[in-house]
Structure 1
Amino acid sequence: MDRNVMTRPLLLAAGLWATASASAQAGADPARDPAKTEVWVPVPAAVATPPGRAPSDAIVLFDGKDVSAWESEQGGRVPWLIADGALTVVPGSKGIRTRQRFCDVQLHVEWRTPLETRGFEGQDRGNSGIFLQELYELQVLDSYNNPTYANGQAGSIYKQALPLVNASRAPGQWQAYDILWKAPRFSQGGGLISPARITVLHNGVLVQDDTVLAGRTEYIGAPSYAPHACAPIYLQEHDSRVSYRNIWVREL
């Protein structure tokens, strides 16, 4: 008989013994116990994510029909047009804000700028904005082949932070923002403990990466902070028939 065939059982037995010995040593040494690094509680809550719909733990702010979560910025009913599952700005009617106040959130908003662009350019083309806590603006603008100042185009934190890229679709097409917002923190005396931070995906593309804000949005002058509490989400009316749909938020 081939000696190699004869020695195979011996080698196998030796290998099994070595494995058993190593396992015994690992079990004898608490520092090498894999269970020491396993975390079982708390168990993360289950969240259903049906395709094309808001997560099961989200607050639906607009589902295509119901605007009860909103009011005019002056109080009272929403003055915008509701049709075909969209909420469309009526120029000259003022902006709208949520009735509920928010701090840290995950926010999903879909928006569309007007198809007709003739005679409009720069900041006059499809202009609106999403304000976190009513003070900090993520710009909404038709930035498809539409030159303007970079910190005022779609995906910018208006007058503060340029988007990493221009992910804009053509006018008349639906677009989406997915936003992670961390509210600023203030001391009891009103001092700034930590500034606001924002991450934004525009049509699935990262355009703001944990951006630190220097303060509230200002059209003229430098941004700065003043102490405030949780506040509504605000959609701006800026003389353009921008439409919104499928808006939901998760409190973080």
Structure 2
Amino acid sequence: MAGRENQEGSREVFEKSNGFLTRWRVAGPFRMEGKDGTAVFDIEFDPEKAGTQVEWKRVSLEAESNAAPWKLADGVMEVRGGNIATRRQFQDYSLHLEFRLPFMPTARGQARANSGVYLHDQYEIQILDSYGLEGLDNECGGIYQIARPRINMCAPPLQWQTYDIEFSAARFDSEGKKVRNAILTCRHNGVTIHDKLEIPRPTGGALRSDEKEPGGIYLQDHGNPMQFRNIWIVEKPQDASR
């Protein structure tokens, strides 16, 4: 957010554009320090061969013959072939992840650094090189056919970016009737792009349609060499209603 008065917990961010220096005062938090929750990526792995000692597994939406394992080096994992999801299932949580878009100057639209993070195996927050674009529901930070980000906070390629997400799963009564949609808040590079947004249904590419049970965190392979690092979760207490 921008304004004349500094707010508690804010810091100033400078951006040079068209010969002018623009000053923004952006309210944090910008980065969650430490790792007080469950780390879901901190050892080398091949999701097809490493067994249950790692937190990730390969998931397939279609037949994948000879799919290459994801690459992990120097604390960074790179999309190589196939989608992966956490072995553990979660209900309500805070999720932090960092991603870096590859530089793909000849690609356009959805072919330009495309990936996504699925919450609950079902609700995708898009990852895409959308720097300088309008900020639509199919661009970075958007939720397909449901919501566009309040503001396009996508940085240029080759810079590390952050998603900080607060997620609460849908709730159902004792007869299995949905009484509340899933809800999420998402900060992209420290700025809120979705605030307590209700998600009425799974998005395209979901691993399943049933919203009742806990779900994993699912990272999408879309054929581009995306990179991820510092992914962790803090689970929240669940209330009685599901």
> What TM-score do you get using the length of structure 2 for normalisation?
0.73
The aligned residue for residue 155 of structure 2 is 169
The aligned residue for residue 95 of structure 2 is 107
The aligned residue for residue 59 of structure 1 is 38
Select 1:84's aligned residue among 54, 74, 77.
74
Percent of aligned pairs with the same amino acid: 36
Residues 162-203 of structure 1: CA distance to partner in whole angstroms, max 9, x if unpaired?
Answer: 100011111011000000001001234321111001000000
Q: In 2, are the aligned partners of 1:69 and 1:100 still within 8 Å (CA)? A: yes
- CA-based RMSD of the aligned residues comes to 2.1
* Alpha carbons of structure 1 residues 78 and 176: separation in structure 2 relative to 1, 3 Å: farther
Select 1:136's aligned residue among 123, 131, 138.
123
Residues 91-145 of structure 1: CA distance to partner in whole angstroms, max 9, x if unpaired?
Answer: xx21000010001010000001102x22211111111110011111011111113
Write the letter of the residue equivalent to 2:139. Answer: Q
Alpha-carbon distance in structure 1 between the residues aligned to 2:79 and 2:33: 23
Alpha-carbon distance in structure 1 between the residues aligned to 2:120 and 2:218: 7
Q: Stretches of 4+ moved more than 4 A in 1?
A: none
* Alpha carbons of structure 1 residues 101 and 52: separation in structure 2 relative to 1, 3 Å: closer
Alpha-carbon distance in structure 1 between the residues aligned to 2:172 and 2:77: 35
Alpha-carbon distance in structure 2 between the residues aligned to 1:173 and 1:247: 16
Q: In 2, are the aligned partners of 1:71 and 1:78 still within 8 Å (CA)? A: no
Computing the radius of gyration from Cα coordinates, the structure with the larger value is 1
The aligned residue for residue 215 of structure 2 is 231
Q: In 2, are the aligned partners of 1:112 and 1:242 still within 8 Å (CA)? A: yes
> What TM-score do you get using the length of structure 1 for normalisation?
0.70
Residues 33-65 of structure 1: CA distance to partner in whole angstroms, max 9, x if unpaired?
Answer: xxxxxxxxxxxxxxxxxx975343x001113x4
Residues 10-55 of structure 1: CA distance to partner in whole angstroms, max 9, x if unpaired?
Answer: xxxxxxxxxxxxxxxxxxxxxxxxxxxxxxxxxxxxxxxxx97534
Looking at secondary structure, tell me which structure has more strand per residue. 2
Q: In 1, are the aligned partners of 2:44 and 2:72 still within 8 Å (CA)? A: no
Looking at secondary structure, tell me which structure has more helix per residue. 1
Alpha-carbon distance in structure 1 between the residues aligned to 2:110 and 2:131: 12
Q: How many residues are matched?
A: 189
The aligned residue for residue 206 of structure 1 is 192
Alpha-carbon distance in structure 2 between the residues aligned to 1:181 and 1:87: 24
* Alpha carbons of structure 1 residues 132 and 52: separation in structure 2 relative to 1, 3 Å: closer
What are the residue-to-residue correspondences of 1:177-216 with 2, within 5 Å? 177-216=163-202
Report the alpha carbon displacement of residue 78 of structure 1 after superposing the two structures with TM. Answer: 8.7
Alpha-carbon distance in structure 2 between the residues aligned to 1:179 and 1:78: 29
Alpha-carbon distance in structure 2 between the residues aligned to 1:207 and 1:85: 27
**Is 1:98 aligned with 2:86?**
yes
Write the letter of the residue equivalent to 1:250. Answer: V
Alpha-carbon distance in structure 1 between the residues aligned to 2:177 and 2:32: 42
